[in-house]
């Protein structure tokens, strides 16, 4: 990244946010505290009109007023053109098609930051790999960490990780997102940061299932800890560094999503454990829990790398093969074990 581009990013006081779900809206509110102008692209034309009229995202983040410097629009061209900073916050499974739509309007030297969490089902690409595949650009970064949208919008003290292959890029993103209530750390382990942010949603569903079955804190602690090992096994096979999974985007995000009542993935798991079917749970949800689709990618990665990840396998079978949660738990308890960190490259 050249010196001219770096100056553009450091001096920019505006950004375009693509995606107005709960997380995109919360990040818009967060960034509005320090930037002059924020374009917020809203996929749903009806919602865009509601936000413009009420200054509130009543569908996805009710109760939080949008500052005047946030400008919702239903036009991708209007949101993108002339912007040097782009923040992508759409579901992972639609990133590819969204990028194809915005590609004609992107400025040549723009910096694209992704805040989505997931793994593409068809390719098993993480988010930055999808972006590189579609746009063939190097100016990109990922922002991730243990953060609920509602709390970020409220200004609760929180922490994130800004990750990029280039340290200067990571520092630009760090500076952009840092406020008095937000600490931002940097990382060069893009794959590790993205794998941790994606797979924790699968373990959160599993933890929710056990809570729904009425099991105890012992079970929850065991699932979180062993789930972290499974995430680390898959991640290190994909080239991530083991230590990344014991930081904010691994352990931190995992604990938050597995224990917090605001977690959609945990809440979905609780209802599964209580006997509801996936169809019953999701048919009335405006925002489907990310782990429902991510577990498909997790299952494929387990097969691809031949790693032991029994929690994720059983979660997949409950979600997509109709296996009874109680039977899945019983089968999980019969899995052969060895040393605690077996299969984690760099630790085993």
By annotation, the residues acting in catalysis are: 200
Task: For residue 313, give Cα distances in angstroms to 84, 187, 273.
Answer: 42, 29, 16
Q: Angle at the Cα of 304 (from 113 to 162), degrees rounded to 5?
A: 20
Residues 6+ apart with CB under 8 A from 128: 114, 140, 141, 142, 190, 191, 194
Task: For residue 62, give Cα distances in angstroms to 12, 65, 150, 173, 275.
Answer: 29, 8, 9, 27, 29
CB 315 within 8 A of CB 205: yes
**3-class secondary structure per residue, 286-323:** CCCCCHHHHHHHHHHHHHHHCCCCHHHHHHHHHHHCCC
* SS3 of residue 76 by DSSP: helix
Other beta carbons within 10 angstroms of residue 81's beta carbon come to 15
Torsion of CA 236, 127, 208, 182, to 10 degrees: 100
């Amino acid at each position: 990244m050249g010196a001219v581009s770096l100056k553009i990013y450091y001096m920019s006081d505006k950004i375009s946010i693509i995606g107005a779900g709960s997380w995109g809206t919360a990040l818009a509110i967060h960034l509005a505290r320090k930037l002059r102008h924020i374009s917020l692209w809203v996929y749903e034309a009806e919602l865009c009109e509601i936000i413009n009229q009420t200054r509130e995202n009543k569908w996805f983040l009710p109760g939080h007023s949008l500052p005047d410097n946030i400008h919702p629009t239903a036009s991708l061209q209007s949101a993108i053109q002339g912007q040097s900073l782009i923040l992508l916050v759409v579901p992972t499974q639609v990133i590819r098609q969204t990028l194809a739509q915005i590609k004609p309007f992107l400025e040549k030297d723009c910096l694209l930051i992704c805040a989505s969490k997931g793994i593409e089902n068809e390719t098993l690409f993480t988010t930055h790999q999808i972006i590189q595949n579609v746009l063939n650009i190097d100016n990109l970064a990922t922002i991730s960490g243990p953060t609920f949208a509602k709390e970020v919008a409220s200004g609760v003290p929180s922490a994130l990780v800004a990750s990029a292959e280039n340290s200067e890029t990571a520092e630009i993103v760090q500076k952009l997102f840092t406020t008095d209530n937000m600490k931002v750390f940097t990382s060069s382990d893009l794959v590790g940061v993205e794998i941790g942010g994606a797979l924790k949603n699968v373990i959160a569903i599993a933890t929710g299932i056990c809570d729904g079955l009425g099991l105890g804190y012992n079970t929850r602690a065991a699932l979180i800890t062993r789930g972290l090992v499974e995430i680390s096994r898959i991640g290190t096979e994909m080239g991530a560094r083991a230590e990344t999974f014991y930081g904010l985007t691994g352990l931190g995000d995992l604990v938050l999503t597995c224990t917090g009542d605001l977690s959609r993935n945990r809440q979905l798991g609780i209802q599964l454990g209580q006997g509801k079917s996936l169809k019953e749970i999701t048919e009335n949800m405006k925002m489907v829990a990310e782990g429902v689709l991510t577990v498909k990618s997790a299952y494929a990665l387990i097969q691809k790398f031949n790693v032991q990840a029994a929690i994720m396998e059983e979660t997949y079978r409950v979600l997509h093969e109709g296996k009874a949660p109680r039977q899945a738990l019983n089968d999980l308890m019969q899995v052969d074990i060895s040393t605690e960190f077996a299969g984690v490259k760099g630790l085993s």
